[in-house]
Structure 1
Amino acid sequence: MDRRSPVPLWSQVQDDLRRRVTEGEFDAAFPGENALVEAYEVSRNTVREALRGLRAEGLVTAERGRAPRVRRAEIEQPVGTLYSLFASVEAAGLTQRSDVRALDVRADGVVAAHLDLEESTPLVHLERLRRADDTPLAVDRVWLPASVASPLLGVDFTHTSLYAELTELTGTRVESGHERIRAQIPTRGERALLECPEDVAVFVIERTGVAAGRLVEWRQTVVRGDRFAFEADFSSRGLQLAVARSAATPPRAATAS
């Protein structure tokens, strides 16, 4: 710190911390107040003032009783619409890259059942570790009928969209589907792959995709809960319609089980 400078010490600390955050120095952990006081040889009030500005900028976050943390950009995902994780990451101003962990043909009876296929049906299986600006974001596993998706076996999925490649190489365009989202504690392997902090849960997203009235995709994506947010629009009209439908539906007769 330049104590002869007209720039306040808190501003000098803030500028230096901003630089270090931008360079990724605190990706693993952000130092606590005591460590910053010692490192910069300033008062606790000076450190707190510097951190207050970084919080206002959205660079770090802090909760009562917990050390500050670098705040990652969230990937916002609309509910009830068809979307591409690749496109969502890029739209957030981040670079999407994938580590391809598997791309092959295999049979899976459980997945085949999701696709209304015979258990022995050959399926193209693609597993990727999805990254946003090199930081692990999601483990993405997808299965498609080999009769449809076999041309994808030669694709380099490091930096491309599955849906874009599927459309270009096979003429198959996913138009609709169903998605189920739940929160859970990641397994030890998932936590290691995603580099999740101990206090971060994950979302598990299960999706079936439909093209021309046919099930062509079953996907399971495990995504870090601190990097992902879902959003949806709603209105009182929708609620009133739901209530009206409920009132118009006669009660079901009890049946023996």
Structure 2
Amino acid sequence: MIPAVERPGAARLDRSLPTPLWAQLHADLLRRVEGGEFTRSFPGELALAAAYEVSRNTVREALRRLRADGTVVAGRGHPPRLGRQTEITQPLGALYSLFASVRANGLSATSSVRVLDVRADGVVAAKLGLEESTPLLYLERVRFAGGTPLAVDRVWLPHALAAGLRDADFTETSLYRELDERCGIRLTDGQERIRAVVPTPGERRLLAAPADTAALAIDRLGLAGRTPVEWRHTVVRGDRFSVLASFTAKGYQLDVHSGPKGPGWSH
């Protein structure tokens, strides 16, 4: 084992141990990462080889393991750096508010409203189980977490149910809170599909996302009892958002073929 150290910096590797040097180096680098080192930059192969008095082959094997688990990211022609951990984690199988989840992670949750109007959309109306000409309240926002763009959020609701939202200020509040307080509607459950997407150029600009940033699309049908009241399409930065599934000894089942079924879903 690597001797315990209380101060930051490289620990001395023990060549008398049966543990390979690369494994000792890998463990010590993880310790240093968890201790808050390397936030500005991650040392290169030569620097690590000198600091730990090992060969570059030993360093490369330790770095290979760090890259495999996402701790370190390194591209051709670029120095290694720490991989970014997602800031917002959402549970699968639970009704959640992105606004509340951002706040729960210790970040400010704000929105910039791009569109709030009434329109007809036959495709979305059908997803809500309505006639194609039914007036819908449409809300489009850029969602921010900690002052940085997190998601482009588009929501459609039956105008007859959600007319009270037209005067709401969504800058620092959640849709579900306003829907409850202004319209007396509280979501009880729903269905959701999450898939990987390539953001459109416009979405990438709104998200201030680099060209190599992945994104997730979340399509949600929200219900109040048995009544569909919300169809939502959200494009969220994949480097800042993740989903979490819990399981037991009995396991869990995800439908990866056709997705959830309901009035808003088609095959």
Common fold: TM-score over 0.5? yes
TM superposition score normalised by structure 2: 0.67
Cα shift at 1:71: 3.2
Give the letter aligned to residue 236 of structure 2.
V
Partner of 1:99: 112
What residue ranges of structure 2 are gaps of 5+ in the alignment? 1-6, 11-31, 53-69, 255-267
Structure 2 CA distance for partners of 1:48 and 1:199, relative to 1, 3 Å:
farther
Q: Distance in 2 between matches of 1:112 and 1:69?
A: 45
Could you tell me how far 1:220 is from its partner in structure 2?
A: 0.2
Q: Does 2:123 match 1:110?
A: yes
Match of 1:181 in 2: 194
C-alpha spacing 1:46/1:236, structure 2 compared with 1 (3 Å): closer
Q: CA RMSD in A?
A: 3.2
Aligned to 1:121: 134
Match of 1:131 in 2: 144
Q: Does the alignment pair 1:235 with 2:248?
A: yes
Cα deviation code 1:199-218 (max 9, x no counterpart): 21110000001113100000
Distance 2:172 2:127 in 1: 28
**1:11-160 matches, cutoff 5 A:** 44=47, 62-65=72-75, 66-67=78-79, 68=81, 71=84, 73-160=86-173
CA gap 1:130/1:48 in 2 versus in 1, 3 angstroms: farther
Contact 1:131 1:137 in 2 (8 A): yes
More helix by share: 1
Structure 2 SS opposite 1:139: strand
CA contact (8 A) 2:73 2:83 kept: no
| Structure 1, 190-199 or 176-185: larger mean CA deviation | 190-199
Q: Does structure 2 retain, via aligned residues, the 8 Å contact 1:103–1:127?
A: yes
1:33–1:48 contact (8 Å) kept in structure 2: no
- Aligned residue in 1 for 2:259: none
**Secondary structure, counterpart of 1:166 in structure 2:** helix
Q: 1:8 to 1:131 in 2, by over 3 A?
A: closer
**Cα distance in 2 for residues equivalent to 1:75 and 1:189:** 23
1:9, 1:46 within 8 Å by CA — same for their partners in 2?
no
Would you say how many aligned residue pairs link Structure 1 and Structure 2? Answer: 204
How far 1:74 sits from its partner (Å)?
1.7
The one-letter code sitting in structure 2 at the alignment partner of 1:118 is E
User: Quick one: distance in 1 between partners of 2:234 and 2:51?
Assistant: 39
Encode CA deviations 1:125-149: one digit per residue, 9 max, x unaligned.
1100000111110000000000000
Once the 2 structures are TM-superposed, how far is the Cα of residue 192 of structure 1 from its aligned partner? 1.1
